Copies of this chain bind each other. A is one copy, B any other.
Amino acid sequence: MSGESVYVVGAGMARFGKFPAEVTLEKMAVSASREALVDAGCRVRDIDGVYFGTVLGGSVAGQRTGAQLGLTGQPVTNLENACSSGATAIRDAWLSVKAGLHDVVLAIGAEKMTDRISGGILADASDLDAALGMIMASNHGMSARRYMHDYGATRAQIAAVAVKNHAHSVHNPYAQYQHPVTLEQVLDARPIAEPLGLLDCSPISDGAAAIVIASEAGLARLGVTGRPPRILGVGLVSGTIHDGARSVNEEDISRRGGEEAWRISGVSPTDIDFVEMHDCFTIAEIVRMEGLGLIPRGEGGMWTEQGHTSIGGKLPVNPSGGLLSRGHPVGATGVAQACELTWQLRGTAGARQVEEARTALAYCKGGTVAGTDGASVSTLVMQA
């Protein structure tokens, strides 16, 4: 794909967590945006457009956030693709620059979940599978059982994903959880959908994240010197009604999401130095990495147990802590992943830095649990 080069020149977050009602979606979004703007050396009037991802934020969340930021009439677009809403906001922000319409664009993801949701979330009120009991957790519980059966993986290998991601986010000041957990704590946690327990599940979270992206002309406008990380492409695919017919772990949608990423960005899977992966459940990290073709099928549990996906391993996954430990305010997640890619590719990720990180992938999945008619997967490729 030709067109403008697109750079990420600023990244900011509002810490993920569970906050009282007065910490509104807009306040978190403004806080994250200001941090990203300061990071980019960008004034509010330098922004050409805003793309805002949220699920629960209502119909004009981006406009209200823009007003509180002091926006002076620039275009604001709200996007919604379930748990990949933030990633989709980045995709359309990227397209607006690629198309030559905008030179400096703010992409925001935000969600205020704790005062709206208790217990698990459904993909959609009209998701019949979910209404009949096939909610997220039960689907991933079945996925884990099937994975253990098919590949002889152990429960401990799956639990090791939570241990790893919690260990990573000890060093992430924006993470909802900044303490390590032991394998025993994961195995002994309250059962949710066996074999998965509470620590195999990503939490309900509040939070926001923002990035500033720019064309070459945008770099000049902002006075950016040097070469910031670039967005090479953002893939997006939807589910098909034949997905997952043979096995819940087949992840056809992940395979296709990966193919879109490689096609649009021009990189190949072997170029990827680390991944921010949509680990809404421990087992999901494993089957999605395998679906993308980044880990051989059936080996993801073993890779995790042996440390290959830890920082310092051969393919680090979720140096940020991922959804499991950074938290999962749904609309914010995709943008938070992009923030992590930006910091890692700049080499400024501190104690959680992935060495020699040059090319990275962020993967988000939203929608119905079975990956069928209501699902979407987005794949963002960035390069230093």
Which A residues fall within an 8 A CB radius of B?
Answer: 1-3, 49-50, 55, 58-60, 63-64, 66-68, 71-82, 85, 88, 91-92, 95-96, 98-101, 123-126, 235-241, 253, 256, 260, 264, 366-368, 372-376
Per CB-CB distance, the 7 closest pairs between chain A and chain B, nearest first, are A67-B373, A75-B236, A98-B99, A99-B99, A60-B374, A59-B82, A78-B80
Which residue in chain B gives the minimum CB-CB distance to A58? B124
What is the minimal beta-carbon distance from A135 to any residue of chain B, in angstroms?
Answer: 15
Q: How many monomers of this chain does the complex have?
A: 2
Which residue in chain B gives the minimum CB-CB distance to A50? B238
Q: A375 vs B63: C-alpha distance in the bound complex, in angstroms?
A: 7
Name the B residues within 8 Å of A88 (CB-CB).
77-78
8 Å CB contact of A101 from B68, B98, B366, B372? B98
Name the B residues within 8 Å of A60 (CB-CB).
81-82, 123-124, 366-368, 374-376
Does A92 contact B67, Cβ atoms closer than 8 Å?
A: no
8 Å CB contact of A239 from B63, B85, B101, B367? B63
Name the B residues within 8 Å of A253 (CB-CB).
73
Which residue in chain B gives the minimum CB-CB distance to A241? B67
Name the B residues within 8 Å of A375 (CB-CB).
60, 63
Q: A240 vs B80: C-alpha distance in the bound complex, in angstroms?
A: 23
Q: A324 vs B99: C-alpha distance in the bound complex, in angstroms?
A: 35
Name the B residues within 8 Å of A85 (CB-CB).
59
What is the minimal beta-carbon distance from A2 to any residue of chain B, in angstroms?
Answer: 6
Name the B residues within 8 Å of A96 (CB-CB).
95, 99
8 Å CB contact of A67 from B81, B236, B239? B239
Name the B residues within 8 Å of A235 (CB-CB).
75
Does A237 contact B2, Cβ atoms closer than 8 Å?
A: no
What is the minimal beta-carbon distance from A382 to any residue of chain B, in angstroms?
Answer: 17
Name the B residues within 8 Å of A91 (CB-CB).
77
Q: A1 vs B48: C-alpha distance in the bound complex, in angstroms?
A: 14
Name the B residues within 8 Å of A126 (CB-CB).
58, 64
